[in-house]
Chain A
Amino acid sequence: MATETNPETGKLEFFLDVPFPSSREATIALRSLSPDREPRRGGISKQLSVSGSTLSVRWSADEARILRVSVNSFLDHLSLVVETMEDFGPPVDL
């Protein structure tokens, strides 16, 4: 986890890796958290990906304020997904 200014683009970047018990759960989290896009002209972009059992998120923003709002909101949503998995999981066999 770190915030850095990309020297080429001048944008603030933030990376987050979230470990899950399995790749199945990481993929469920990815698919629950990706459909709602960031505002198109909001000066921020967010990319989610899964590698193994890790969910990775990568932000790129023009301003620290916008980045903070987006990261905060993502963490609220992520913890809701994790709580939902704890209470109503594990995932059924497909």
Chain B
Amino acid sequence: MTVVIGFEGSANKIGVGIISDGEVLSNPRRTYITPPGQGFMPSDTARHHRAVILTVLKEALEQAGLKPADIDCVAYTKGPGMGAPLVTVAIVARTVAQLWGKPLLGVNHCIGHIEMGRLITKSNNPTVLYVSGGNTQVIAYLERRYRIFGETIDIAVGNCLDRFARVIKISNDPSPGYNIEQMAKKGTRYVELPYTVKGMDVSFSGILSFIEEAANKMLSSGQCTAEDLCFSLQETVFAMLVETTERAMAHCGSQEVLIVGGVGCNQRLQEMMGVMCKERGAKLFATDERFCIDNGAMIAQAGWEMFRTGRVTELEDSWITQRYRTDEVEVTWRD
């Protein structure tokens, strides 16, 4: 039996999770929520994480019913993400690893999402759509790498949604994306927005600029409602994602799609992807907000896979990095 504890805090969520051979023993999490109209800044987010991380760690151990001695490896997010929150979490991981005399392991955040999705859905070799506030990538596994087939050439899809929410002052509680999704259900009119797919890549900054410019004018003149804008934005950006995912599947001859990342728990995105999969005779895999949204268990799970193939990170090599591409990691745990 191999037990791995994972620390995640690369953005506004702080989570600690414990995995024992594919079983999630605990996965507590806290979210730093800012007032409507405001995003989360690195230093404030780091302060939030500092204030709660030790409480979350205690909860993780208590809920799992484990003592530090039962743990085999301490995994933490090495990157990518915001520097200040990453350092905060890495410092606690390094300290407990030394206090408990356990090996440390730095994990790529994107790999964490993919491995958690594979574990929960039991999908075998899926084409992965990784969509969150910081990342938008279409990924396929080939010869020991998760290869990036297509990605955003500017901002992430979740960043586009979050910043749109700020423009029209949608609440960030529990998350801007969730609130946009609920409002979109009441939208009736489709407002045409720029649709930007460039080969295998997508772009969202133009859509954001367009809607930032137009939103308040259209709303004050009664041309459309906030709900219509939420609906139109979702339909447009999700269509772009489904299109590029489908093309990647055609290239790879893949019959499975796995959606991971915070935006991945959006039911409308899952529904649209489901329609495409059905037409191709493919299977769609997705998880709910417990595992889609950043959490500690996903870092523990990727760490578990890595640790089982003998990987560890020496303390002097345990620096965090804001940029860390998915395809930089050699996947030693898959054929």
Contact = CB atoms under 8 A, between A and B. Distances in A.
B316 interface: yes
A58 interface: no
A87 B54 contact: yes
B333 interface: no
Contacts of B96: 84, 88
B318 interface: yes
Contacts of A89: 99
A26 to B, nearest CB: 12
A47 to B, nearest CB: 15
B320 A36 contact: yes
A31 B319 contact: no
B91 A34 contact: no
A80 B58 contact: no
Interface centre among A28, A32, A73, A89 (most CB of B within 10 A): A32
B101 A92 contact: yes
B99 A36 contact: no
A35 B94 contact: yes
A84 B92 contact: yes
A81 B99 contact: no
Nearest to B47: A76
A65 B220 CA distance: 45
Contact of A35 (B46, B58, B84, B318): B318
A84 B54 CA distance: 7
B101 A88 contact: no
Contact of B50 (A28, A32, A33, A80): A80
A83 interface: yes
Contact of B99 (A35, A76, A83, A84): A84
Contacts, number: 71
B94 A31 contact: yes
Nearest to A33: B91
B210 interface: no
A91 B98 CA distance: 7
Interface string B38-60: 00000000110010011001100
Contacts of A33: 91
Given A37-B319, A88-B68, A94 B101 contact: yes
A83 B57 CA distance: 13
Interface string A24-51: 0000110111111100000000000000
B87 A85 contact: no
Contact of A32 (B54, B58, B91, B317): B91
Interface in A65-93: 73, 76-77, 80-81, 83-85, 87-92
A80 B9 CA distance: 15
Give the 8 A-B residue pairs with the shortest CB-CB distance, closest first: A32-B94, A84-B95, A28-B98, A35-B319, A32-B95, A92-B101, A35-B318, A31-B315
13 contacts: A28-B98, A31-B94, A33-B91, A35-B318, A35-B319, A36-B90, A77-B87, A87-B57, A88-B68, A88-B100, A92-B68, A92-B99, A94-B101
Interface of A: 28-29, 31-37, 73, 76-77, 80-81, 83-85, 87-92, 94
Interface of B: 46-47, 50, 53-54, 57-58, 68-69, 84, 87-88, 90-92, 94-96, 98-101, 315-320
